[in-house]
Every structure is written in C-alpha cells, then in structure tokens.
C-alpha cells in the first residue's frame, strides 16, 4: 500500500475528537481540493510502499485501541479492504476518513465522510478543476455509505453561503442531524478561532454539531499530527 505517513496522535476532528489514535495516511486522491491541507497526498503524492504486515505491526506497537485510515482518499487504495479486515481481527476501532466518492466494502466502526462543497473546487488548475467538480459529489455513493455503517458527515465550511449547498445535498440522502458536523476551513489557529465562532452559530441554527480542528490548535499545521 502506498502510504505517506504513519503516526500516533490525537484525533482532531469529528465525534471522536480527543481520542489517542494511530493514523495510517494513504497517498493518492481522486480529487484536488483548493484548500487541501495534505497536498503531499493529492496534488503531489509522495510516500513509500508498505506491506500490510508492516502497517499492522505499527498499529500493534502504538495503538491504544483506535486506528484512523485517512488520506488522500483511502477508499481507492488497492488493499484497503484487506487492511481493515486485519485491523478488525486484531480488535481495533477503525475510522475510515473519505470524501464519499468511492465505495469499498471495508470493515469500519466509523465511516467519516467529508463531502466536498463548491468551496473546494480549484481555479486555474486545468483539467483538474473540471475533473474535481465532476467527481466531488456522488449522492448514490454517499447514500450507500450512510446506510452501511455508523457514520458522520463532516462538511468543511467557509461561511454561511455553504449552508444552501449542504441542505440540498442532505435532501438527497437519509440522515440524522446529530451525525452532521460543520468544520471551519483553515490551518491557522487564529483563523480557525474566528471562523469557529461563526460556524458555531450556523450549527445552533441548523441543529448540527461543530467539529474542531483540535490537532491544529495543539500542534499547528504540520505533518505527523
């Protein structure tokens, strides 16, 4: 499996924010978000090929029970299903973080789905701009993921103008409002603080949850966190 990094840190986002977790970050993505905070897994994928034995050994050495498989887009990794099966057999709580554009029959305790809104589409990116816009929302895949696993729907938000798009997307699937999280976009703690206040008001208005970016507040915007 092509992996950009392995690390043990604190889950910074979503309903499990604060949980010590092992992270397996795959490299490679079918999207190109304008604000991507891991461009080394998408715009310029880098990493090394790791065997499943190596990945499982790292998890055994470091984990306290929670493993997060993220990316990039982990659902396109060729060995993703077998990896999750092996982690499940070892007793791990498994979170898969995905944009929700691809389906794979993984073993998963929390399907963390982050559908990409129009604010993610890059400009001046040649054919990637059109490809990203075409692929970023796949309602049929989203519906299948939501129906198949315990899930969270985590939207990266820049402002209240994003709510209309979120509402339209949610109308196309069956969901529970308490599984919808709004997360402010940004990698600077001061920017996140200001945006979090505004996004928090949006959550109060809609009955959604506010997701922090706890790892950025704790460690800054750097790898291995």
pLDDT at 60: 97
Cβ-contact 41, 26 below 8 angstroms: yes
Task: Kindly give the pairing relationship between strand 2-10 and strand 48-49.
Answer: antiparallel
CA distance 191 to 57: 38
**pTM of this prediction?**
0.95
- At 37 the pLDDT is 93
CA angle 64, 66, 69 (to 5 degrees): 135
Q: Two tokens at 60?
A: 């055994």
Which residue, among 22, 10, 14, has the nearest Cα to 90 in the 3D structure? 22
Which pLDDT score, from 0 to 100, does residue 150 have? Answer: 98
What are the average pLDDT values for consecutive 10-residue runs of the chain, which has 225 residues? Answer: 98 97 98 96 97 98 97 98 98 98 98 98 91 96 97 95 96 94 91 90 96 88 86
- Three-class SS state of 33: coil
pLDDT of 184 reads: 95
pLDDT of 190 reads: 83
Instruction: State how far Cα 129 lies from the chain centre.
Output: 20
Going by C-beta distance under 8 Å and a sequence separation of 6 or more, which residues neighbour residue 190?
none
Got the DSSP string for 153-221? EEEEESSGGGHHHHHHHHTTS---GGGEEEEE--SSHHHHHHHHHHHHHHHHHHT-EEP--HHHHHH-S
């Amino acid at each position: 499996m092509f992996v950009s990094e392995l690390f043990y840190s604190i889950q910074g986002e979503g309903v499990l924010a604060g949980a010590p977790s092992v992270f397996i970050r795959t490299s490679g993505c079918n999207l190109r978000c304008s604000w991507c905070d891991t461009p080394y897994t998408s715009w310029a994928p880098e990493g090394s090929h790791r065997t499943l034995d190596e990945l499982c050994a790292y998890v055994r050495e470091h984990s306290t029970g929670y493993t997060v498989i993220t990316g990039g887009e982990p659902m396109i990794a060729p060995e993703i299903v077998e990896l999750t099966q092996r982690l499940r057999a070892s007793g791990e709580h498994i979170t898969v973080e995905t944009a929700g554009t691809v389906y794979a029959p993984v073993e998963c305790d929390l399907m963390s789905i982050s559908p990409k809104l129009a604010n993610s589409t890059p400009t001046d990116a040649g054919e990637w701009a059109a490809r990203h816009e075409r692929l970023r929302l796949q309602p049929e895949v989203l519906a299948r993921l939501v129906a198949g696993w315990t899930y969270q729907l985590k939207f990266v938000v820049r402002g209240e103008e994003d709510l209309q798009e979120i509402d339209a997307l949610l109308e196309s699937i069956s969901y529970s409002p308490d599984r919808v999280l709004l997360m402010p976009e940004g990698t600077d703690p001061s920017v996140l603080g200001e945006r979090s206040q505004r996004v928090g008001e949006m959550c109060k208005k809609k009955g959604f949850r506010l997701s922090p970016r706890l790892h950025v507040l704790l460690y800054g915007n750097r790898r291995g966190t």
